[in-house]
Amino acid sequence: MTEPTRRTAPLSPYRAFVVQFGEETRLEAGHMVGRVEHVVSGQATHFESLDALLTFLARVLQEVRQAPPHG
C-alpha cells in the first residue's frame, strides 16, 4: 500500500523567477555569474555570486509577501 501524496499549495507565479547562468559559471568552483528576473514584476538584476543572487530573491519575495493580495 502506498502513502497518500501530500497536497501542497499551488506554486504561485508571484514567487517564480528565471535564472540564467553565464558561460563563465563554474558551480563546482563556487563561481556563478548570470541574470535573474522575477516573472511577474519583471524586476531583474545581474549577479556575480550566490550571495548576490540570494539577496535579490529575498528582497523580491519580501515585497511579494508585503503586497496586498491579488485577486
pTM (predicted TM-score): 0.80
42 assigned to some structural domain: yes
Distance of CA 24 to the CA centre of its chain: 20
Residue-wise pLDDT for 6-24, tens only, equals 677 789 999 999 999 999 9
**40: containing domain:** 15-64
Cα angle for residues 16, 57, 5 (degrees, 5° grid) = 50
The total domain count for the chain is: 1
Q: Is residue 4 part of a domain?
A: no
Q: If DSSP codes are grouped into helix, strand and coil, which group holds residue 37?
A: strand
Long-range contacts of the stretch 50-55 (C-beta < 8 A, 24+):
53/19
**36-66 pLDDT, tens per residue?**
999 999 999 999 999 999 999 999 999 999 9
In a domain, 6, yes or no: no
